[in-house]
C-alpha cells in the first residue's frame, strides 16, 4: 500500500479562464454581428480601421482563439487536475499562460484593425505575435506535461488524450504554417508560395478546426457530459477508437479546401477520401456522447447544462456529416466560395463549440463561485434563444449559399450566363444577410444573458473560497495500483500480463503516448506535404510568369493589408461558367511568386485572378473612392485613405529584398533601385489616369500601387491575346461615373 | 541513393495507397487491442474516472 498524499486543486486559474472566455466571446461575437451587418448595409464600414476586410479576421481570431481558446483552457485546467488527482505542476506557469494569452488577444485586437496581417486565414497575426503565441503555448505545454508526470492516477482518462493531441498538434501547425521572413517590424512574407503555401495554409486551417475546435472540445465532452449526467460515458472503448481514428484521419483532410484549384488532383482526392472516412469516428463520438444520457433523459428537461450539451453534441453530428459531404468534389463545386461554407462553420461554431462551452460554463459557475447559480431560468432562456438564433443563422446561410452557387453557374437558353453581372448574385442575398444578422443577434443576446448570470452569481460568492484538501494515494510502480476499485481482477495469468503491459506501455506513459500521437499526426502530414513540395510535375513552370514589379508588390501588400482576400478569390476554377465569367482558369505555375497565396475562400465579390486589363485605371480610381459609383448595388467598402495616404517609398526596397531572399528572381535594377522603379511606374499610371479623364496628382498615393497590382493580375499568361486585354477607351469609362 | 532520388521514383499514387494501408493497420490494431475481452473490465472502470473525483464543488453538487 502506498502512502497517502494531500493537496488542493487550483481553481483560481479556471475562474480566470472562464471569465475571459465569456468576455472575449461577447467581443468576438459582437464583431461578428458588425461584419454581418456590413454585408447587409455597407455604410457600416468605417475606413480605414473598421472595414469588413480588417474586421473579419478580428472576428474569426477572437471567436476561435479567444472564446474557444479560453474555453479549452478552462476545461483543461479544471478536468486535468481532477482526472490526474493533482494540482497543476506550477501555479506561476499557469498565470503566465493566462496573462500571456490575454495579452496576445489584446495585441490581435489592436493589430488587425491596423491592417497588420500575414494575409493567411486564421493565421493573420504578424510574426512578433506568432512568436509570443509559440512561447505561451510552450509554457502551457510544459506545465501540462509536468502535471502528467506528477499525477496520482496511473491511467490517463481519454479526455487527457484529447488534450495531449491538441497541445502537440497545435504547436506543429502553428510553427510550420507561420514560417515567414520578416520584412519589417510588423510585416513578413510566408516562406511558401502559391500552391505550396495554399497547401500548408489549409493543412493548418483545417487542422485548426480539428485540434482547436474539435479534439479539445471532445475532451471537454468526455469529462463534463458524464459529470453533468451523473453517469459514465456510454462506451469507454468506443471513445478509444474515436480518439485514435480521429487523430489519424483528421490531419489528411485539409486539401478538401482546395478542390478544383491549382492543387494537384491526387492531393485533392486524398483529402476527399480521408474527409469522408472522418464521418465514421465523428459519429461514433456523437453517439457515444448522446447515449451517455441513456436513462437520464428526464434530467435534460430540467437541467440547462444538459440541454446545451445535448444540442451541442447533436450539432457536432450535423457538422461532421455536412463537412464530409461538402468535401465530395462535385458537392464542393457548388458549395465552395459560397455562404454554404459560412453556414457549415457556424453550425459547428455556434452549435458545437458554443453550446459545449456554455454548458460547461453553467456547470462550472456554481462550483467555481461556490454558490448557487443566480438563475436557472435565465440559463434555460439563453439556451432557447441561442438555439433559435443558430437555426435562423444557418438556414439563412444555407439558402444564400445554394442560391448564389446556382446563380453563378446558370446559363440561359442562348448559352450565355444568366446572371453575367456578379452583383445580381450578391443583391439577391441581402434579405438573407438580414436574417443572418437577426439570428446572430439572438445568439449574442443569449451570451449577454450568460454574462449577467455570471456577474450575479459571482456577486453571491463567499468572502473566502473554500479550498478543500484532497487526499489520494501516491502513484508507485506497482501495477496493482492500476486496478481501480470496482474493477474485476483479470481472469488468468495471460490477461493479467496483457493488462499490465497495456497500461504501462501505452496510455499510462505520457511520453510514449505523446510520441505515438505525434507520429500519427506527423506521418500523415509528411505523406501529404512531401510529394507536394518535391514532385516537380505538381507545379509546371510557365516561362512568361515574372515577379511583380516593386510597385505591384507594394500594391499587393495593400491588398493583403485591407484583407481583400476575405471577399475576393484569385482562383478561377476549370468550370465553363467560371471561364466565361472570369477568363482562363488558373494554372499552378502562375502563383510561384505569390508569398503568401491569395486564393481566398469566399466570393462575396467576384474573382480577381484575371482582373488585369479588364477595366481602365480610372475605373478603379472611382471604384475605390465609392464602389457604388461604378457598380450599382455593390456592398464593398469605400477606401478614401487610398487617396490621402502616400506610398512609403523607403520601405519598398526592403520588401523587394525580402522577396529576393525567398528566391524570387529580381534583376539587378530591382535589387538596387526598387524605389526608383516604383516611382517610374507610379508616374506612368498616374499619367494614364489623367489621360483617361481622372484626377491628377495621384502618383504618390496608395491607390496607384493597388491599381498597378490589380492590372497585373493574371496577365502573365495572356500575352498572346493583346486584343482582349486592351483597356476600354477613356470616354467609355468616364461616362459611368456619377 | 539520395532522398530526392528516392522520392522521385515515387508517384503520388504510392503515397495515397501507403497512407490508406497505414490507416487500416492502425485502426485494426487499436480495435483489436481495445475490444479484446481482457480489457473490458478495466476499461469500463476507467470510463467512470470523471465520476469518482470528489473536488470541492462535486461533494456539494450545487447545480
Nearest CA to CA, how far is A157 from chain B (Å)?
7
The conformation of residue A295, written as its DSSP 8-state character, comes to: T
Average of per-residue pLDDT across A589-606? 95
Within 8 A by CB and 6+ apart from A215, the residues are: A162, A165, A166, A169, A246, A247, A250
Asked if the model's pLDDT at residue A185 lies above 50, the reply is yes
Q: Do B49 and A487 touch (CB under 8 A)?
A: no
Q: Domain check: are A218 and A115 in the same one? A: yes
Give the residue carrying C-alpha cell 513578413. Answer: A188
Residues of A in contact with B16 (CB under 8 A): 266, 269-270, 273
User: Per-residue pLDDT tens for A282-324?
Assistant: 999 999 999 999 988 999 999 999 999 999 999 999 999 999 9
Identify whether A600 is part of a domain: no
* Contact between A623 and A711 (Cβ < 8 Å): no
Q: Do A241 and B31 touch (CB under 8 A)?
A: yes
Average of per-residue pLDDT across A690-707? 95
Cα distance between residue A71 and residue A356, in whole Å: 9
H or E stretch including A184? none
Identify whether A484 is part of a domain: no
Identify whether A448 is part of a domain: yes
Residues of A in contact with B34 (CB under 8 A): 237, 240-241
The predicted pLDDT at position B27 comes to 85
Within 8 A by CB and 6+ apart from A391, the residues are: A439
Identify whether A469 is part of a domain: no
On the 0-12 / 13-18 / 19+ scale of CB atoms within 10 A, A668 is: exposed
Average of per-residue pLDDT across A400-419? 96
Interface test with A, best of B14, B18, B37, B57 (most A CBs within 10 A): B57
Q: Domain check: are A433 and A510 in the same one? A: no
Asked if the model's pLDDT at residue A594 lies above 50, the reply is yes
Identify whether A445 is part of a domain: yes
Q: Torsions phi, psi of A634, nearest 5?
A: -65, 145
Residues of B in contact with A370 (CB under 8 A): 56-57, 60, 62
A443 to A393, A400, A468, A557: CA distances (angstroms): 9, 19, 37, 36
The predicted pLDDT at position A154 comes to 86
Q: Pull the grid cell for residue A539.
A: 507545379
Q: Total structural domains in chain A? A: 3
User: Per-residue pLDDT tens for A638-662?
Assistant: 999 999 999 999 999 999 999 999 9
Q: Torsions phi, psi of A473, nearest 5?
A: -70, 145
On the 0-12 / 13-18 / 19+ scale of CB atoms within 10 A, A181 is: middle
The conformation of residue A157, written as its DSSP 8-state character, comes to: P
The predicted pLDDT at position B56 comes to 46
Q: Pull the grid cell for residue A31.
A: 464583431
Q: Pull the grid cell for residue A342.
A: 459560412
* Residue-wise burial string across A491-516, b where 16 or more C-beta atoms lie within 10 A, e elsewhere: eeeebeebbbebbeeebbbbeebbeb
Q: Pull the grid cell for residue A81.
A: 487536475
Q: Domain check: are A650 and A694 in the same one? A: yes
- Hey, is A150 helix, strand or coil? coil
Q: Domain check: are A293 and A316 in the same one? A: yes
* Interface confidence (ipTM) of the complex: 0.81
Within 8 A by CB and 6+ apart from A165, the residues are: A211, A215, A243, A247, A517, A521
Q: Do B56 and A530 touch (CB under 8 A)?
A: no
User: Per-residue pLDDT tens for A464-501?
Assistant: 999 999 988 888 654 444 444 444 444 555 554 555 44
The predicted pLDDT at position A521 comes to 80
Q: Pull the grid cell for residue A237.
A: 472503448
Nearest CA to CA, how far is B25 from chain A (Å)?
11
User: Per-residue pLDDT tens for A519-555?
Assistant: 878 877 777 777 777 666 667 788 899 999 999 999 9
Beta strands in A169-245 (DSSP E): 180-182, 188-190
Question: Which of the listed residues A538, A564, A596 is the one where a domain comes to its end?
Answer: A538
Within 8 A by CB and 6+ apart from A459, the residues are: A374
From its phi and psi, is residue A230 left (phi > 0), alpha (psi between -120 and 50) or beta? Answer: left
CATH number at residue A676: 1.10.760.10
What radius of gyration, in Å, describes the C-alpha atoms of chain A? Answer: 27
User: Per-residue pLDDT tens for A74-91?
Assistant: 999 999 999 999 999 999
Q: Pull the grid cell for residue A23.
A: 468576455
Give the residue carrying C-alpha cell 505523406. Answer: A527
Q: Domain check: are A533 and A678 in the same one? A: no
Cα distance between residue A697 and residue A91, in whole Å: 60
Q: Domain check: are A532 and A555 in the same one? A: no
Inter-chain CB pairs, A–B, below 8 Å: 161
Q: Do A498 and B38 touch (CB under 8 A)?
A: yes
pLDDT bracket for residue B59 (50, 70, 90)? very low
Q: Do B26 and A484 touch (CB under 8 A)?
A: no
Cα distance between residue A335 and residue A31, in whole Å: 25
- The better pLDDT of the pair A274, A501 is held by A274
Q: Domain check: are A198 and A315 in the same one? A: yes
From its phi and psi, is residue A535 left (phi > 0), alpha (psi between -120 and 50) or beta? Answer: beta
Identify whether A655 is part of a domain: yes
Tell me, yes or no, if A483 comes closer than 8 A to chain B by beta carbon: yes
The conformation of residue B2, written as its DSSP 8-state character, comes to: -
* Contact between A443 and A386 (Cβ < 8 Å): yes
Question: Which of the listed residues A442, A459, A476 is the one where a domain comes to its end?
Answer: A459
On the 0-12 / 13-18 / 19+ scale of CB atoms within 10 A, A480 is: exposed
Within 8 A by CB and 6+ apart from B5, the residues are: none
Q: Domain check: are A319 and A253 in the same one? A: yes
Q: Domain check: are A421 and A502 in the same one? A: no
User: Per-residue pLDDT tens for A210-263?
Assistant: 999 999 999 999 999 999 999 999 999 999 999 999 988 888 888 899 898 878
Q: Do A499 and B38 touch (CB under 8 A)?
A: yes
Beta strands in A130-211 (DSSP E): 180-182, 188-190
Q: Domain check: are A439 and A511 in the same one? A: no
Interface test with B, best of A231, A232, A243 (most B CBs within 10 A): A232
Q: Domain check: are A433 and A384 in the same one? A: yes
Q: Domain check: are A421 and A366 in the same one? A: yes
Average of per-residue pLDDT across A135-143? 97
Asked if the model's pLDDT at residue A411 lies above 70, the reply is yes
CATH number at residue A433: 1.20.210.10
* Contact between A630 and A622 (Cβ < 8 Å): yes
* Residue-wise burial string across A572-595, b where 16 or more C-beta atoms lie within 10 A, e elsewhere: bbeeebbeebbbbbbbbbbbbbbb
Asked if the model's pLDDT at residue A709 lies above 90, the reply is yes
The predicted pLDDT at position A516 comes to 81
Identify whether A485 is part of a domain: no
Neighbours of A232 (CB within 10 A): 18
Question: Which of the listed residues A538, A573, A597 is the one where a domain comes to its end?
Answer: A538
pLDDT bracket for residue A431 (50, 70, 90)? very high
Indicate the average pLDDT of chain A.
Answer: 90
Identify whether A483 is part of a domain: no
The predicted pLDDT at position A738 comes to 34
Domain span including residue A387: 4-459
Q: Which of A451, A316, A321 is nearest to A379 (CA)?
A: A451
Q: Pull the grid cell for residue A30.
A: 459582437
In this prediction the pTM is 0.91
Chain A, window 489-508: residues with a beta carbon less than 8 angstroms from a chain B beta carbon: 490-491, 494-495, 498-499, 502-503
Average of per-residue pLDDT across A168-185? 93
Asked if the model's pLDDT at residue A36 lies above 90, the reply is yes
Cα distance between residue A445 and residue A451, in whole Å: 10
Q: Do B16 and A270 touch (CB under 8 A)?
A: yes
Beta strands in A355-444 (DSSP E): none
Amino acid at each position: 500500500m502506498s502512502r497517502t498524499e494531500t493537496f488542493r486543486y487550483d481553481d483560481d486559474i479556471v475562474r480566470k479562464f472562464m471569465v475571459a472566455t465569456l468576455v472575449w466571446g461577447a467581443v468576438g461575437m459582437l464583431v461578428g454581428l458588425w461584419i454581418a451587418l456590413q454585408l447587409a448595409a455597407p455604410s457600416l464600414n468605417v475606413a480605414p480601421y473598421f472595414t469588413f476586410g480588417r474586421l473579419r479576421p478580428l472576428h474569426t481570431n477572437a471567436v476561435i482563439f479567444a472564446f474557444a481558446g479560453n474555453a479549452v483552457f478552462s476545461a483543461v485546467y479544471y478536468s486535468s487536475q481532477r482526472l490526474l488527482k493533482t494540482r497543476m505542476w506550477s501555479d506561476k506557469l499557469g498565470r503566465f499562460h493566462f496573462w500571456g494569452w490575454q495579452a496576445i488577444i489584446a495585441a490581435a485586437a489592436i493589430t488587425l484593425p491596423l491592417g497588420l496581417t500575414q494575409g493567411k486565414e486564421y493565421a493573420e497575426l504578424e510574426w512578433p505575435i506568432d512568436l509570443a503565441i509559440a512561447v505561451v503555448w510552450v509554457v502551457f505545454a510544459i506545465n501540462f506535461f509536468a502535471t502528467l508526470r506528477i499525477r496520482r492516477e496511473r491511467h490517463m482518462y481519454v479526455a487527457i488524450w484529447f488534450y495531449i493531441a491538441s497541445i502537440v498538434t497545435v504547436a506543429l501547425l502553428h510553427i510550420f504554417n507561420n514560417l515567414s521572413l520578416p520584412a519589417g517590424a510588423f510585416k513578413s512574407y510566408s516562406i511558401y508560395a502559391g500552391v505550396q503555401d495554399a497547401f500548408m495554409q489549409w493543412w493548418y486551417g483545417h487542422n485548426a478546426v480539428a485540434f482547436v475546435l474539435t479534439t479539445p472540445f471532445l475532451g471537454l465532452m468526455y469529462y463534463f457530459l458524464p459529470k453533468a449526467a451523473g453517469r459514465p460515458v456510454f462506451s469507454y472503448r468506443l471513445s478509444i477508437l474515436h480518439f485514435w481514428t480521429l487523430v489519424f484521419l483528421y490531419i489528411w483532410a485539409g486539401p478538401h479546401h482546395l478542390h478544383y484549384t491549382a492543387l494537384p488532383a491526387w492531393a485533392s482526392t486524398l483529402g476527399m477520401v480521408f474527409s469522408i472516412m472522418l464521418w465514421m469516428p465523428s459519429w461514433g463520438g456523437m453517439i457515444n456522447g448522446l447515449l451517455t444520457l441513456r436513462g437520464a433523459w428526464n434530467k435534460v428537461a430540467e437541467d440547462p447544462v444538459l440541454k446545451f450539451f445535448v444540442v451541442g453534441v447533436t450539432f457536432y453530428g450535423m457538422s461532421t456529416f455536412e463537412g464530409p459531404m461538402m468535401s465530395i468534389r462535385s458537392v464542393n463545386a457548388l458549395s465552395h466560395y459560397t455562404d454554404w461554407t459560412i453556414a457549415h462553420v457556424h453550425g459547428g461554431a455556434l452549435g458545437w463549440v458554443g453550446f459545449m462551452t456554455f454548458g460547461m460554463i453553467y456547470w462550472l459557475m456554481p462550483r467555481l463561485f461556490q454558490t448557487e447559480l443566480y438563475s436557472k431560468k435565465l440559463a434555460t432562456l439563453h439556451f432557447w434563444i441561442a438555439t433559435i438564433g443558430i437555426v435562423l443563422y444557418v438556414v439563412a446561410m444555407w439558402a444564400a449559399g445554394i442560391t448564389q452557387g446556382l446563380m453563378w453557374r446558370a446559363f440561359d437558353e442562348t448559352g450565355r450566363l444568366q446572371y453575367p453581372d456578379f452583383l445580381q448574385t450578391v443583391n439577391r442575398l441581402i434579405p438573407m444577410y438580414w436574417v443572418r444578422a437577426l439570428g446572430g443577434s439572438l445568439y449574442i443576446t443569449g451570451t449577454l444573458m450568460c454574462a449577467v448570470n455570471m456577474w450575479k452569481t459571482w456577486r453571491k460568492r463567499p468572502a473566502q473560497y473554500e479550498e478543500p484538501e484532497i487526499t489520494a494515494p501516491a502513484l508507485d510502480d506497482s501495477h496493482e495500483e492500476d486496478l481501480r476499485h470496482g474493477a474485476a481482477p483479470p481472469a488468468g495469468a495471460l490477461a493479467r500480463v496483457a493488462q499490465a503491459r497495456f497500461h504501462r506501455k501505452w496510455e499510462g506513459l505520457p511520453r510514449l503516448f505523446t510520441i505515438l500521437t505525434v507520429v500519427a499526426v506527423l506521418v500523415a502530414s509528411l505523406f501529404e506535404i512531401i510529394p507536394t513540395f518535391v514532385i516537380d510535375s505538381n507545379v509546371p513552370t510557365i516561362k512568361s510568369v515574372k515577379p511583380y514589379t516593386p510597385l505591384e508588390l507594394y500594391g499587393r501588400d495593400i491588398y493583403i493589408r485591407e484583407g481583400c482576400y476575405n471577399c475576393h478569390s484569385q482562383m478561377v476554377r476549370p468550370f465553363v461558367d467560371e471561364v466565361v465569367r472570369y477568363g482562363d482558369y488558373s494554372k499552378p505555375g502562375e502563383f510561384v511568386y505569390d508569398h503568401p497565396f491569395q486564393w481566398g475562400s469566399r466570393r462575396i465579390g467576384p474573382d480577381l485572378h484575371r482582373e488585369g486589363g479588364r477595366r481602365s485605371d480610372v475605373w478603379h480610381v472611382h471604384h475605390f473612392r465609392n464602389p457604388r459609383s461604378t457598380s450599382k448595388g455593390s456592398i464593398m467598402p469605400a477606401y478614401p485613405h487610398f487617396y490621402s495616404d502616400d506610398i512609403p517609398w523607403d520601405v519598398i526596397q526592403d520588401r523587394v529584398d525580402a522577396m529576393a531572399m525567398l528566391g524570387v528572381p529580381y534583376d539587378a535594377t530591382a535589387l538596387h533601385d526598387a524605389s526608383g522603379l516604383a516611382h517610374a511606374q507610379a508616374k506612368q499610371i498616374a499619367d494614364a489616369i489623367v489621360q483617361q479623364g481622372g484626377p491628377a496628382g495621384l502618383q504618390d498615393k496608395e491607390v496607384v500601387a493597388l491599381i498597378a497590382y490589380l492590372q497585373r493580375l493574371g496577365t502573365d499568361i495572356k500575352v498572346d491575346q493583346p486584343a482582349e486585354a486592351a483597356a476600354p477607351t477613356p470616354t467609355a469609362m468616364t461616362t459611368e461615373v456619377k | 541513393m539520395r532522398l530526392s532520388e528516392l522520392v522521385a521514383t515515387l508517384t503520388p499514387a504510392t503515397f495515397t495507397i501507403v497512407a490508406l494501408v497505414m490507416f487500416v493497420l492502425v485502426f485494426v490494431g487499436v480495435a483489436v487491442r481495445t475490444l479484446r475481452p481482457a480489457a473490458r473490465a478495466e476499461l469500463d472502470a476507467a470510463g467512470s474516472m470523471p465520476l469518482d473525483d470528489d473536488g470541492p464543488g462535486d461533494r456539494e453538487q450545487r447545480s
